Amino acid sequence: MNNLLSFLIGALISIMIMINGILSGSVGNYLSVVIIHIVGLIAMILALILNKAKVNFSKDIPLYLYSAGAIGVFTVLFNNIGFSVLGVSMPLALGLLGQSLTSIIIDHFGWLGMKVVKFDIKKSFGLLLITSGIIIMTIF
Q: Tell whether the model's pLDDT for residue 55 goes beyond 90.
A: no
Nearest to 78 by CA among 67, 91, 87, 62: 91
State how many domains the chain has: 1
Res 130: pLDDT: 87
Res 102: pLDDT: 94
Q: Tell whether the model's pLDDT for residue 65 goes beyond 90.
A: no
**pLDDT, tens digit (0-9, with 9 covering 90-100), for 73-126:** 999 999 999 999 999 989 988 988 899 899 999 999 999 889 999 998 888 998
* CA angle 129–134–135, rounded 5-degree value: 95
Res 113: pLDDT: 87
**pLDDT, tens digit (0-9, with 9 covering 90-100), for 18-48:** 999 999 999 999 999 999 999 999 999 999 9
Res 96: pLDDT: 86
Range 78-84 contact pairs with CB under 8 angstroms and sequence separation of 24 or more: 79/17, 79/20, 79/21, 80/20, 80/21, 80/23, 80/24, 80/29, 80/32, 80/33, 81/24, 81/29, 83/17, 83/18, 83/20, 83/21, 83/24, 84/21, 84/24, 84/25
Tell me if 88 sits within 8 A of 107, measured CB to CB. Answer: no
Q: Which domain holds residue 41?
A: 2-139
